Each structure stands twice: as structure tokens, then as C-alpha cells.
Amino acid sequence: MRDSLGLPLASDRTGDLSWSCTVPRELVHRTSVAEVLLTDVRAERAGGFRAAACWPRSHITFPGDGSDRHSPLLVVETLRQLGIYLPLRWFGVPPTARMLIDDLRFVLHPGREPRVGLGCTEVTCDVEVTDPRRRPDGRLASVRLAVAYRAGGRLFARAGGGARFLSEARYAAVRADRLGSPQPAPVPGGRPDPALLGVARAADVVVARRAGGLAVEPADPGHPFYFDHASDHVPGMVLLEAARQAAAEISAGCLLRPTSGRMAAVSFTEYDPPAVVDTVAHDRTCVFRVRQGGGATTYGVLGFGRHDT
């Protein structure tokens, strides 16, 4: 039997996880297959899910830090893709629905994380879905996920968060005159040195020094990862990376690779006027706030310490 998307129903799928090919790109809201990390997801009889993710040896956006480690933001991107895929396949959310991230968290154990070797890294995810809330018509309104990441049977990271789902009509009503807002062309100048921020290319810089502070201004509005598909507001992954780059900038390049983090969204972050990232660093921790129009749209904290237990 197959679902409305022409895919085998979850109950038809048995056996071990596979890393041979990706899940359909539409089910993780990606346009490019190269940006799809998930390769398989199975429902467990005892509840929860097991998923396979393939982390590439090299990634144009997350090239690594010169060591043999993957970017910690791959943990978050895997969480994001699971947060879309599971509701679409198992909870009746239609493919046209819009997913909005409410909050996320992650913690990485550097002493346990897999090292980059030949080929990709095969990651296994144990996923717990909690607090599914439905609207009066039965459609899923929101859900929370908790994910444990393993490679070679070794637990090396945890992540979780909550997301909401809006129909196309509801999203249009919420966005009102901002619906379909285009991303403005980048303003030249003011961008920190990519090396200072720990990115490989100038196109990967998402912040710029402006009169009001460090603004969220992606250098490349067609970036293959951050803007794989059109969005009328600043995506959550851009905001998280902007916070990471702001931490690197304020610490003169000392705080580059977060091993933990939390982020919560209060409202949409618009392209115009550019939002500003405020940061306060203390030791190996950096608190951040994204503000726009006199209020905070997003806030959180990044940790750059070690978590070896």
C-alpha cells in the first residue's frame, strides 16, 4: 500500500535502516537533493522512530574547522529535517503546510563525536515525539521532538525542539502584507573577514557591521543551503548561524565551534529593516538576541565548552 505521495506506508517498511539513498527532498522542504541528510526513517513498535542520516565528508556550507570533525550545525539541520519529515509521513500534515520553528536545543560531546573519514558518516537517530497537539478538525498543530545521535553505536549528541504547522491559508493570514516578501539585494561592505567567522567563503557570511550594530544580512541571497527555496522571512538556520558568527566576531575568532545551544523564536524575523544581533560573551558562553522594530524576535545562548561525558 502507498500513501497520497506514492510512498510505501510506514507499516509496510521493515528491516534495518538504509543509508543508500535520500528520502524524497519534498518531505524535508529541500529543493536540492544534495542538501537532504535523511536516508531512512522507521517507526518502532515500542513507540518513537529510528532514522538514518548521511553526513557528507565535505559540505559547501559546513566545511569543517580544519580538524577531522563535522560541523555541529549538521546536528541542528538533521533535527530540522526530522521535524518536517515525521509530521508529513506519520501525523497527517499535508505537504503544502508551513513549518515554523518555536525553539530548539542541542548538545554535542566532542570526545565521542565521529571523525570525518572516507565517504560519509552514517548517523543513527533515535527520535521521541512528544506533546502532539491537534486542532478541532484533527490536524496536527504542533509537536515536540527529542533526538539522540549515534555513530558506530556511540552516543555523541542530543537535540530537540518544538514546531508549529500552518495551512497555506492560515499562513497567508498570519503573514498578511509580508506574504511573499522578497529578500533584498545585499548591501556591499561591512562584512567581517570570513576566516574570523570560521567560514570558508565570503558568500557564507550572514552578518554585516552597520550603524545600528551587527546586522543579519546574508551575503548571498541565493545561498544553496540557507536559501535552497524561497522564504518571505529570515529562516531559523540563518538566525542560528548569524548568532554563531556574532559570537565569533565579538570574541575575535575565539568562539567558533559551539558544542551546545538553545534558541527560541518570539516572532518572525523580517528581511527589512535588517535585524540586529546583540551578543554578550562570558568565558565559553555567548548569550544572543535578535532584535528588530524595537523588540526581540529571537533569543538564545551558545556554549563553546567541552561535553565529554
Read off the pLDDT of residues 12-54 as tens digits, 9 standing for 90 and up. 343 489 999 999 999 998 888 888 999 999 999 877 999 999 9
Last residue of a domain, one of 131, 148, 173: 173
Q: Which pLDDT belongs to residue 86?
A: 97
d(CA 245, CA 274): 16
Q: Are residues 38 and 147 in the same domain?
A: yes
* Ramachandran quadrant class, 152 (left: phi over 0; alpha: psi -120 to 50; beta: rest): left
pLDDT greater than 70 at residue 242: yes
Q: Are residues 169 and 184 in the same domain?
A: no
Mean pLDDT over residues 263-290, rounded? Answer: 97
Is position 188 within any domain? yes
Q: Are residues 114 and 146 in the same domain?
A: yes
Q: Which pLDDT belongs to residue 224?
A: 83
Is position 3 within any domain? no
- In this structure, the number of other CB atoms found within 10 A of the CB of residue 62 comes to 20
Q: Which residues contact 109 (CB under 8 A, 6 or more apart)?
A: 155, 156, 157, 259, 307, 308, 309
Mean pLDDT over residues 5-9, rounded? Answer: 43
- List 215's β-bridge partners, or say none: 208, 276
Q: Are residues 220 and 283 in the same domain?
A: yes
Angle at alpha carbon of residue 136, lines to 131 and 137, rounded to 5°: 105
Q: Which pLDDT belongs to residue 289?
A: 98
d(CA 238, CA 216): 8
Q: Are residues 133 and 206 in the same domain?
A: no
Is position 1 within any domain? no
d(CA 150, CA 122): 9
Q: Which pLDDT belongs to residue 128?
A: 97
Is position 195 within any domain? yes
Residue-by-residue DSSP string for 191-246: PPPHHHHT-SSGGG--EEEETTEEEE--S-TT-TTTTSS--SS--HHHHHHHHHHH
Last residue of a domain, one of 173, 196, 211: 173
Is position 34 within any domain? yes
Q: Which pLDDT belongs to residue 103?
A: 98
DSSP code at position 270: P
pLDDT greater than 60 at residue 277: yes
Total domain count, the chain: 2
Q: Are residues 280 and 138 in the same domain?
A: no
The more confidently predicted of residues 143 and 225 is 143
Q: Are residues 19 and 155 in the same domain?
A: yes
pLDDT greater than 80 at residue 122: yes
Q: Which pLDDT belongs to residue 174?
A: 96
Last residue of a domain, one of 152, 173, 194: 173
Q: Which three cell numbers stand for residue 50?
A: 529510528
> What percent of the chain shows pLDDT beyond 90?
73
Q: Which three cell numbers stand for residue 249?
A: 566576531
Q: Are residues 20 and 149 in the same domain?
A: yes
d(CA 159, CA 147): 5
Helix (H) or strand (E) holding 123: strand 121-134
Q: Are residues 78 and 122 in the same domain?
A: yes
Q: Are residues 247 and 199 in the same domain?
A: yes
Q: Could you tell me whether strands 260-265 and 276-282 are parallel, antiparallel, or unpaired per DSSP bridges?
A: unpaired
Least confident window among 5-9, 125-129, 157-161? 5-9
Is position 309 within any domain? no
Q: For all residues of the chain together, what is the average pLDDT?
A: 89
Is position 71 within any domain? yes
pLDDT bin (cut points 50, 70, 90) of residue 4 is: very low
Mean pLDDT over residues 59-76, rounded? Answer: 73
Sheet hosting strand 276-282, strand order edge to edge? 38-43, 49-55, 121-134, 140-151, 154-166, 98-108, 260-265, 295-303, 285-292, 276-282, 213-216, 207-210
Host domain of residue 38: 10-173
pLDDT greater than 70 at residue 159: yes
Least confident window among 61-70, 85-94, 221-230? 61-70
Mean pLDDT over residues 221-227, rounded? Answer: 85
Q: Which pLDDT belongs to residue 5?
A: 41
Q: Are residues 119 and 204 in the same domain?
A: no
Is position 80 within any domain? yes
Q: Are residues 92 and 161 in the same domain?
A: yes
Mean pLDDT over residues 56-67, rounded? Answer: 62
d(CA 93, CA 106): 25
The CATH number covering residue 53 comes to 3.10.129.10
